[in-house]
Chains A and B, each alone.
Chain A
Amino acid sequence: MKPIKYFIFIVFLSLQACSSLTLKPADFSWPIESVLEVSKDGFVKEDRHSLFFDTKNMFLEETEDSSAYMNKEIRIIRDAKGYYYITSNNFNNVYVFNVYDGELCLENKIEITETGISKPAFNQRPPYIELVEGSNKHLLSNDGIKSED
């Protein structure tokens, strides 16, 4: 009985907080992707949007190699809903992150290929993010691939 009460209480608070003030519509999209070099400590820094985070865990997840981030660069873009799309050369996946309490939390891991993406690039194609891979293009959302050329 007690857990149900707690659940109802939390839902009530959430709804009340959300309904108190909402600013919409909001567009968090970046016009173009950013190409960032990974530092020797595994961090990247994006000056225009004041973004700074550690990439080591993402490289470990992708390659299972703790030093795979060395001398690498990542490509990152943000869509209108505020999700960050990150990939790098020879990655198989595009990582979709959301911001939560000062951290980038993985929202989705979109598999593009099993052989590694060659020279990837993101383009802003509202409401999607376009992933260019050579002559191939994929339209992505935070849920996954929407269409492919």
Chain B
Amino acid sequence: MKNKIIVSIILFHFLFGMNLLLAQSDFEIVENFKKRVSQVEQHIKDADSLAELAKIDREIEKLRSDFIPNEELLNRSLYPNNFDKTFRNLREAYQLRENDFTQIDVLATEVTGLRVEVDTLRRRNNELTLQFEELGQQTSARIGELEKTIARLNSSLKKRDQIVMNMIDSMLTPSGSDGELSPKEKQQLLSEAEQNNVLYHIKRAVNDNIRFINATELQPDDIEELRNRQQNFFRIWGSVGPTMVELYAARGKSTNELKEIDEAFSRWHNELNREVWVSIRSKFAGNNVKLQNFSSGEEFTAVITNYIGDEIRNANTRGNDETEATYNRFVDSTWYSGINSEWLPFLLDNNMLDEKDKDTIEVMIASWKDTVYPGGINWLYIVIAVVVIALIIFFFTRKPQKTTETIISSEPS
């Protein structure tokens, strides 16, 4: 009995529903279909996961099955679309969204991988930073140690040079009033030289000094000290060298060793000069100013003036920032921060550079400054113009007053 009631209710609803369906306007069916399609399209757009998209897949299928009885009506009514094309469009939209999620998944996987890689690199960077800091500490320690070693070496060379110079000096016994050595003194000089192996020590001392110069980058003070030492050494050798040559020649001995010593002294002198120019050039290079090689005052002046000339000529084609940066690197950071105060006095004192060359360079620098910062000249013109105008105004305002006074004073009282 109960089952019969349930079946009756279902049948009633089915028939009523069918009746409603049959009585439905085609227009409403089409509008209802369009509304459902729009809803599905919106759901596709709003879906935020593949799981949610899977539900929409079922929704599309249900939509199709719901409206398949009206396919013919919809084919006629959905101009310019039709039933199948509408579902193809929905499927395409669905597929695109699915591809988006697939791509997002792939990208998410890549991001995860990259995150792991970043973590690994971060750890590696930390390790490297620690190693770098340790190496920095070690390097600082080593540099300090090296500087101490250089200082010790310099000091040792200085002591050894002094001993060798004393040795040479001691060979020179007081001579007669005419400065000529007696045969006995000459014999004594020769035997002492041979006995003390003096020539070997001199040659060794000069060569060691040359090696020291080549191995280190020296500052003006160091070079000044080395130059004094070299000149002192050369002066002492000059007092005994010619006599030694004469003695060796008189006794038929080879004078090659003596000539080698002369050449070594000459090389020492040249190396010192070369070291000066190398140090100056490296000072520029340290501030990213790349100059051509130079090994004399003339070459130095020519290189500097050519460099500045090129910069002045190229100032118009470069941007202001670049021109100013180059000027600042050269002039402010190098020329006036080291070369002018440290090296120029040394170069001038040692006749390695003329005052004329120095002036030439400074004129070029002033010209460069005018090119880079032309505003200064304009201000000067403005100040001059203001002064001239003020003088003219003063002149014209003073003159009439005097005339009036003259007229008044000339009137009869």
**What residues of chain A have their CB less than 8 Å away from a CB belonging to chain B?**
31-35, 48, 75, 121-124, 132, 134-137
Contacts and interface: CB of A to CB of B under 8 A. Distances in A.
B79 interface: yes
Contacts of B26: 31-33, 121, 123-124
Contact of A31 (B20, B23, B73): B73
B79 A48 contact: yes
Nearest to B24: A132
Nearest to A134: B23
13 contacts: A31-B73, A31-B77, A32-B27, A32-B30, A32-B77, A33-B25, A33-B27, A34-B27, A48-B79, A75-B27, A121-B26, A132-B23, A132-B25
A100 B100 CA distance: 56
Given A31-B26, A121-B26, A132-B23, 6 more contacts: A33-B26, A34-B27, A48-B79, A75-B27, A121-B27, A134-B23
A124 B315 CA distance: 85
Interface residues of B, number: 13
Among B26, B28, B76, B77: residue with most chain A CB under 10 A: B26
Contacts of B24: 132
A122 B29 CA distance: 12
Contacts of B30: 32
B317 interface: no
B19 interface: yes
Main secondary structure of the interface of A (DSSP, over half): strand
Contacts of B19: 135
Contacts of A75: 27
Contact of B25 (A31, A123, A135, A136): A123
B79 A35 contact: no
Contacts of B27: 32-35, 75, 121-123
Contacts of A137: 23
A123 B30 CA distance: 11
Contacts of A32: 26-27, 30, 73, 76-77
Interface of B: 19-20, 23-28, 30, 73, 76-77, 79
A121 B28 CA distance: 9
A33 B25 CA distance: 9
Contacts of A35: 27
Contacts of B76: 31-32
A15 B359 CA distance: 119
Contacts of A134: 23
A31 B30 CA distance: 10
- Of A32, A122, A123, the most chain B CB neighbours within 10 A belong to A32
Of the candidates B27, B28, B30, B79, the one having the most CB atoms from chain A within 10 angstroms of its own CB is B27
A69 to B, nearest CB: 21
A137 B21 CA distance: 12
Contact of A135 (B23, B28, B73, B77): B23
A131 to B, nearest CB: 10
A128 B28 CA distance: 19
A122 B26 CA distance: 8
B351 to A, nearest CB: 102
A85 B25 CA distance: 15
Contacts of A121: 25-28
A124 B20 CA distance: 17
List the 4 shortest-distance A-B pairs measured between CB atoms, nearest first.
Answer: A121-B25, A31-B76, A32-B26, A123-B26
A132 B24 CA distance: 7
Nearest to A31: B76
A34 B79 CA distance: 13
Contacts of A31: 26, 73, 76-77
A34 B19 CA distance: 23
Contacts of A136: 23
* Residue among A123, A124, A135 with most chain B CB within 10 A: A123
A31 B25 CA distance: 12
Contacts of A122: 25, 27
A32 B73 CA distance: 8
B184 to A, nearest CB: 138
A137 to B, nearest CB: 6
A75 B25 CA distance: 11
Contacts of A33: 25-27
A135 B25 CA distance: 11
Nearest to B79: A48
Contacts of B20: 135
Contacts of B25: 33, 121-123, 132
A33 B27 CA distance: 6
A124 B19 CA distance: 18
Contacts of A135: 19-20, 23
A134 B77 CA distance: 22
B32 to A, nearest CB: 12
A135 to B, nearest CB: 5
